[in-house]
Amino acid sequence: MVVAAGLGLALLTIGLLVAPKRPEAEKLSPYECGFEAFEDARMKFDVRYYLLAILFIIFDLEIAFLFPWAVVFDRIGLIALIEMALFIGLLVVGFVYIWKKGALEWE
């Protein structure tokens, strides 16, 4: 740990000492897709962006559970088929719930 910390500090120090320091107006100006920033960076976002992103992650991660199950499907038997049906059923119930609550509506 001491060697790693020492090496990190040494590299940072060398970078600070050796790197050219020529600040220009162009380098110090804010950059946003090739043109000047037209709004404040602290503007408020609608909560629905985050809600939709979280819902996408939740319902997209089910695929991560389906792939390993599908690979070993012929070896795990009927019990695993029933468990996966319950898992998909719970996801469908959750999806119907958020659909009915209007979480997927975009106005």
**Mind listing the pLDDT tens digit for each residue in 19-64?**
888 888 877 776 666 666 666 667 777 777 888 888 888 888 888 8
pLDDT at residue number 20 = 86
Between the CA of residue 21 and those of 29, 30, 89, 91, what are the distances in Å?
16, 18, 60, 55
pLDDT of 39: 67
Q: What is the pLDDT of residue 4?
A: 97
Model pLDDT for residues 56-93, shown as the tens digit of each residue: 888 888 888 888 888 888 888 888 889 889 988 998 99
Could you give all domains of the chain from N- to C-terminal order, each with its CATH number?
2-101 (1.20.58.1610)
**Which residue, among 1, 91, 46, 36, has the nearest Cα to 99 in the 3D structure?**
91
CA distance 66 to 103: 25
Residue 44 tokens, joined: 């408020």
- CB-CB contact of 55 with 98 (8 Å): yes
Q: Can you give the pLDDT at residue 97?
A: 92
The Cα–Cα gap between 23 and 94 comes to 54
Instruction: Report residue 10's pLDDT band, with 50, 70 and 90 as the boundaries.
Output: very high
Which are the contacts of 80, defined by CB distance < 8 A and separation ≥ 6? 69, 73
DSSP string across 58-78: HHHTHHHHHHHHHHTHHHHHH
pTM above threshold 0.95: no
